[in-house]
Structure 1
Amino acid sequence: MTAPSSLHEIEAQDEPAEGGWRPFLRRHQRYLSAIGTLAMIALFGVAIFHLTAEVKYEDVVAALAGTSWTTVATAVLFTGLSFLALTFYDVGALDYIKRKLPYADVALTAACAYAVGNTAGFGPLSGGAIRYRSYSRLGLEPDDIGRVIAFVTLAFGLGLAAVACLSLLAVAEYVAPLTGIDPFWLRAIAVLVLAAMLAVMIAARSGHEVSIGRFTLRLPDTRTLSRQFLVTALDLAASATVLYVLLPAGTIGWPAFLAIYTVAVGLGVLSHVPAGLGVFETVIVATLGRAADVDAVLGALVLYRVIYHVLPLLIAIVVIVGMEVRQFAGHPAASSLRRAGGRMTPLLLATLALVLALMLVLSGVTPTPDENLAFLANHVSLPIVEGAHFLASLLGLALVIVARGLALRLDGAWWASVVIALAALLLSLVKAMALVEAGMLAFFLVGLLASRRLFVRPASLFGQALTPPWLMALGVICFGALVVLLFVYRDVEYSHELWWQFEFSAEAPRGLRALFGVTIGATAVAIWSLMRPATTAVAPASEEDMERAIAIVAAQDMSDANLVRMGDKSIMFAADGRAFIMYGRRARSWIALFDPVGPVDAWPDLIWQFIETARSNGCRAVFYQVSPRGLAYYADAGLRAFRLGELADVDLERFELKGGKWANLRQQVSRGLRDGLEFSVVEPADVPAILPELAAISGAWLAHHSAREKGFSLGAFDPDYIVTQPVAILRCDGRIVAFANVLVTGTKEEGSIDLMRFSPEAPRGAMDFLFAQLMEYLKAQGYRRFNLGMAPLSGMSSRRLAPVWDRAGRTFYEHGERYYNFKGLRAFKSKFHPHWQPRYLVASGGLNPILALMDATFLIGGGLKGVIRK
């Protein structure tokens, strides 16, 4: 039972495309967003290049070298305090939604989420993905995880806005030149924002809803908001101090610097640039450049990025990889940490791969220290140094490409990463004796080797098309390298002769050639990824495939898996043949119906096989009506779950028409007996004899309801389908007046029905009578559960901070009766006092869930006309 929609045959043609600029924007939103982000980076790159016009690269290096170890240790200490404060965002979120998890698990998840988010800062490796993978393994449902992510985002956003506005009151004069707004108006804006936030807090002091025009905000109570504001203030104070102690002494007072830092972070967040790269630096340099030497400020910013962004990532990898070592993994206290950490390791290593990629590319456009260059001149020939320099930069580009495969846990990406890291390690020594660079690559190699067991997904690495966020990462690296190259060699006058100058002292030509190679390589990868394969029609299941699938269905517990007998879906089998996925295609969606059918231990590889095959055909992978049991596997594959409704499940072992709660149903059964209804179950071998009567009833039912046959997630009246399973019938005066085909499997774990048809002459309450009698019949046959099917949009969360998907679904459930009898369907199933279980749509984020649900609706209903005509 599902929401209205369906199809007999999977259509090969898509619906006509809607014209106009709005559909164009919707279709290309992610690409346009990536282009906008790159334009923003270019703008701030040009700004910082001009702000540092008088700065020399050697002065920045000298400022870095002049930083004392005591200062570095102090910065590390405050980094730890900042991350400790960050863990309490998640603690507060879980407390607010009334879910309890061990602090160690929460702290590990939060620290890893922020380590990845602060460093990479873009979609596929965001903190939300970390939380989703970790918390789903720790038992949280998708809507709970969505509320945690929403709470954390809102808490940080409100706290940052409050601290930034309070800061503007103190340092408007510093920020005014950067924004072009008079200090008076900056303070006025800050006061207005603070007043608005205070008014909202007062209005929501008891957790009530606050309406602003057509919008309704559900805010936490004042106590929770105040606590989270304190967490934000502590976090910002600690992280600001990290950079403050790295600046030259006496540059600026700490309160004033906190204000500037907060504004810089806020502008970085608003820009949507990954990690605020370039935006944050521009604000700091623009505001502090007149109070201190710019070279010292730049040196502090570089060190700040390493300490506050890269170091926590390395520590997180050490902790989680350490838990992979068997002697620690066996300790009871480490079991839940290891369960959560194992799902975060690929994302952490993928983030580190991006950091190393940036390091290798930037290393290619910066000069080698003179003493290292002299050593190489005495021991290595020039062609080898030149070749190592150029190849190391290209390996940096290759690391960006394999980073996506690492995030997806591809075995090919693991092998490629090992080879690339090992080659880059050797080349870093040959090209520049870069010991720090080699050490980072060695650390990466150790992390890869220690977590080998996590990368088991077989997939073609070259068949992976980079998505817009990953293409944006390529663009960020290339443009960053260009800015650094121009900054380092701003005193070198360009000439065509630079391209073919090969000398140990010719550092600028080497950097120019390296950047050219990286740019050409990145362009080729982008073109390859953008030339996505055309979608292909999926092949229908053959008779042999149907026989194999039906044999698997008979040996497992899910009765709805019998829908494979309709023959309107394609079938994909696991490599070992023990499980299968039934699916259909609509537009660019490959839609799998239910979880995989077969043993649970065969699910992970089969889910990944389906996702990869869909992607290789240029389509999105979608799983429709899946159970909570498989959510962790979908999360591991980088997909997200969105609630569709609830499935009603009756415990037949406790089902009996006795007691007060069954009074209404007993009356319906008694009425049916008085009306002369007779119930029986016809076995498959005897069904052909009654097919003409069943066909007449089905036709009359469709005509009476002005409906057409559905498909995909619903059965249709097809004689070849009806005769494959038992049929429950009701007779009145010797004539069949209602029937339902019964779905069963050999395990007798569950029974269900698909088609329910009755003639207009059937007595009122006939279907209640049929259901009750069928349940008693199946109970007598030894079946343990009865699946009443799904109530669409039922159970959507109405709690504070519920995801937008849930709020929209709840609104449609409450007010969409003119389109579909949502409440009536749930009320009918509730007569049987079932246990309600959530069912989900699983897809990647962004607009994909909405597009996938539309495609599923059209697939079930037979296209747009089928949906409109019911």
Structure 2
Amino acid sequence: MKKFISWLKSHAGLFKTIFILSVMIIVVGELMSIGKTLSIQELSNTFSDIPIWKIALMFLIGLISVLPMIGYDVILNRMLDQKQERRYLFETSWVINTINNIAGFGGFVSIGLRSEFYGKHHQGKKVIQSLSKIFLFLMAGLSIYSLFSFFVVLFGHVNPYLQQYWIWLIGGGLYFPIVLLLTTIRKEGYVGGLDNRSKGQLILVSFLEWTGVLGSFFAIGALMGIPIDFWQITPLFIAASVIGIVSMIPGELGSFDIMMILGLSSLGIPKETIVAWILLYRLFYYIIPFIIGIVLFFKHLGGSLDQRYSGIPKQLLMEISHKLVVVFLYFSGIMVVLSATIPQAFTEFKWLQHINPLRFHIIVQFPSILLGFLLLIMGRGVAARVKRAYLPTIILISLTLIYAFIGDFSLVTCLFLLAFLVIIIFSKKELFREQLVYSWESLTVDGLIFGVLTILYIIIGVYNMPSFPHRQHRFISFFLFPSERVWFSGLLAIIAVSLFIILFVRFLQGQKHQIGEALDEARALHILETYGGNSDSQLIFLNDKQMYIYNNGEEDTVLLQFATNNNKCIVMGDPSGKKEDFSNAIEAFIHEADVWGYLPVFYEVSEETVMTLHEFGYDFIKMGEEAHVDLPNFTTSGKKMKGTRAILNRLDKEGYQFEVLQPPFSKDTMEQLKEISDEWLGSRKEKGFSLGFFSESYLQKAPIAVVKDAENQMVAFANFMPTYSNEQGTIDLMRHSPSKAPSGSMDYLFIHLFEYMKEQDIRVFNLGMAPLSNVGTSRKSFIQERIAYLVYEFGSRFYSFQGLRDYKEKYATQWVSRYTLYSRDSWVAYVMISLLIIDNAPVEPQPKLYGLKKILKRRFE
């Protein structure tokens, strides 16, 4: 015996799992059984004759009638000397009792569930003893009512049909005295040892439970307008309940129903009325509380699974719920608009009726069009996960539910909307963003949906004009519309909802907060000088970007520089600063951007950053290759450099010289540099963001390499870009005077730069990017890269990238790939367009243009 008990204890976890799975199977089975026994059509017909306030009152009575059963679990937890959180106790007790009501099996399901919820921290023997005492008193209230009913049948003037059940009533009535006697005689064990206070409380709870059962049945009948004879119906109800419980049939289905139909028919109540009465009783006392219990059951089961699997199940469920809400809103909105636009189609094609979740049979044109478009715009707010969309969506669905009740009651529609409300409430935490930033992707989707629906509606109006040829040839029958007046009311609704959409989008956008901060040179320099930078770090001092600084709790350690276009924050290059904090900094930046509705795009980053961002779910495309020169091994000797040596010798003979100027630079020096830059630019405008532009404050921050002619006049220059390490050196602006600089001057400049940085112990010279080099040219390339290639190739208006690789190939000893990473919520074409806009944005402040001037500028630029 001891071995058997030991074996049971060692496999307790397995038995618990089997029990939970069994309960789940019972629950699913009962749901399927209920689905077969309940006729949606019958419920619809029944509800159609009952005022809405009476239905609401039935719903409330059903919930209140279940509440007394919570007392069992309050007493049980006191017997186990444990205090549960009130919310947990209420929810778990509701689950236990409502599932037990439906599942039946003589209350054994409730024992298992109570053991699972409340017996985890106690010895098995104590839990079983406490549960057995609770179990004994579950039927005490029914037994008391059985005794009462027996005397009513025996001494009262009841229908002769009811007198045949006296044996069941006396049998049920004897249960309570026997239990009371046994629990009084036995002083301990599974039956005895219960104090008088607990006995009294259990008897009271059981009596209130069965009072609630009986009371809900009577109340629903009274609200239906059925004359209630308490002395006749009570014995019948109690006898039917006793027989149902003894049979252990789930929810007493079948036996209870048959007895009640026969008994109530003998009292002169029409059979159709009885069926409706029992149907409503089951719905409001059993099924609705049971559905609420199922939701709570899976909530607590999900909580256990969530803890076991590190929160992944909850995240998946929340994500699925959010997706369902978005799909439901968009699909419902489209179907409502279509049902108002082409109502004839919903008559001709039955499949349209079946897939339409909001089945309004009598619907006015104006509110239907209004409702449909409002559902669509709410869908956008929810899809964007904006907090402000939550309350308006709840209000809209609630108003739709009221409209469904008042306008044309449909049970399917009401159940759909109620389920919809529950899912929205459940997925509230998915709406975490502080504002809506209406992305081009969202505008494209919404524009297509709104545009197609609006154009279709206008076409319908034109098609139904008296002068339209369809009067002779009706080639699209379901395009026929009820009347011109009705169509016009729908058009007014479209105009009205358009204005509302503008206001609602503005409401969702809020104050339009932007992340990051303006350049703070001291903080940026502290990070770069303390922890180092990269070949792009110096671009922050152009002051054409925002900066994001990550603090590890002690000091600033990481710097990111970015510019914002639409909902995309374009981050330039790799992070700068402490490498150990890069991952945390990127995560913090992505999180902050996400909260405010932005999607980061990481532009021209290294493979190391690609691997970091890939873990955050980012897709990537190759943007080109960066040319690196191995300085320690660089030489101008050899056949390959023959032409370069000739250039060096020629310019040396002509008196040209290389010089590195150190800041600060004089006014005269800056004027000469500006003159060279302006001549080199000609009519073209400066690029910014990923390339430097002529800015005195920017150029004053690092040395400048210049080429001077024999008269000591500058003819070409290139400014250094400090990388704040000896690993790599690079330059930014490379400009020469077309009228003064000889051919080969830039080669002359580069060769001397290589030699200069080699003397400074710098290992690699970065010649910069060859954009889209070896990108999207193969048939096997990613489609994203091929799209990127097309957009970038045809969209660049400033620099021609042809020949860049060929020029740099002369010096490059290694080509390093650079990538652009973007969120999967972004479309690659729009990512590339944003990059083009940012990269080609004018660096000088532009005058604001309005109206026709703005349109003409965009058209002819």
Instruction: State TM-score, norm by structure 2.
Output: 0.44
Higher relative contact order (CA 8 A, sep 6+): 1
Q: Which has the larger radius of gyration?
A: 2
Instruction: State TM-score, norm by structure 1.
Output: 0.44
